[in-house]
Amino acid sequence: QAALTQPPSASGSPGQSVTISCTGTSSDVGSYKYVFWYQQLPGKAPKLILYEVSKRPSGVPDRFFGSKTGNTASLTVSGLQAEDEADYYCSSYAGSNNLVFGGGTKLTVL
Amino acid sequence: EVQLLESGGGLVQPGGSLRLSCAASGFPFSTYWMHWVRQAPGKGLVWVSRITRDGTSTSYADSVKGRFTISRDNARDTLYLQMNNLSAEDTAVYYCGVAERSSYGADFWGQGTLVTVSS
């Protein structure tokens, strides 16, 4: 149950795009469509922004885009806004009814 | 409106026990799998446990297996996490989550309850 690998930090200027990676193995990200992405503001609960790799819950802007290639999933935020500054976490089904999270990425809007 | 309200956190000595509760409302509780995750101070999210709709199947992270027990009371729309033999490494905010869209990930998390293990 090793954690998925995310970069500790990412940044971009308003209006730019930034991509956050989430690297697992063939036992988790590489084998299942159950990759979720969460946004967490300081002191708040995580909020779902993408599920099953690329599906957006209602209310989440289409500036948030998800994809997956092999053992790596990615979250792309386009048209960066100040309100996007937060911690972002990925999670994946890891088989045997277990889940695994990434270590989190702090996104800074410059 | 989906609401999850965790309670039961607090200060406990090493080796002690706590039972967390998660009161659910705004959705058909018995229909969905439920999860617990935790977040140590300044650290990332870590999955802890999950339970199926009827409570007959459970799963745990290796770090808590044999010490924590997840359960649910569908008549009371409440999820539980019994935590035994606690250590400092269990200090964290514990969040419960409901898996509506997919059993293998939670759509919505409560606001969390803080568990502090210290002498």
pLDDT digits (tens, 9 = 90+) for B2-57: 999 999 999 999 999 999 999 999 999 999 999 999 999 999 999 999 999 999 99
How many whole angstroms separate alpha carbon B62 and alpha carbon A73? 24
The pLDDT mean for chain B works out to 96
Q: Rounded mean pLDDT of A13-28? A: 96
How many whole angstroms separate alpha carbon A100 and alpha carbon A78? 26
pLDDT value for A35: 97
pLDDT value for B103: 84
- The pLDDT confidence band at residue A97, using thresholds 50, 70 and 90, is confident
Of B45, B60, B65, which to mutate for an interface test with A (greatest number of A Cβ within 10 Å)? B45
**Ramachandran bin of B42, using left for φ above 0, alpha for ψ from -120 to 50, beta for the remaining angles:** left
pLDDT value for B102: 86
pLDDT value for B99: 94
B59 Cβ contact partners less than 8 Å away, ≥ 6 residues apart:
A96, A97, A98, B49, B50
Cα B72 to Cα B7, B24, B31, B81, B100, distances in angstroms: 14, 11, 12, 9, 16
Measured between beta carbons, which residues in chain B are less than 8 angstroms from residue A104? Answer: 44-45
Share of chain A above pLDDT 70, in %: 99
Q: Rounded mean pLDDT of B58-66? A: 96
pLDDT value for A66: 97
Q: Rounded mean pLDDT of B95-113? A: 93
Measured between beta carbons, which residues in chain B are less than 8 angstroms from residue A52? Answer: 101-102
Taking the CA of residue B35 and the nearest CA in chain A, the distance in Å comes to: 10
Cα B80 to Cα A21, A47, B76, B83, B103, distances in angstroms: 33, 21, 11, 10, 18
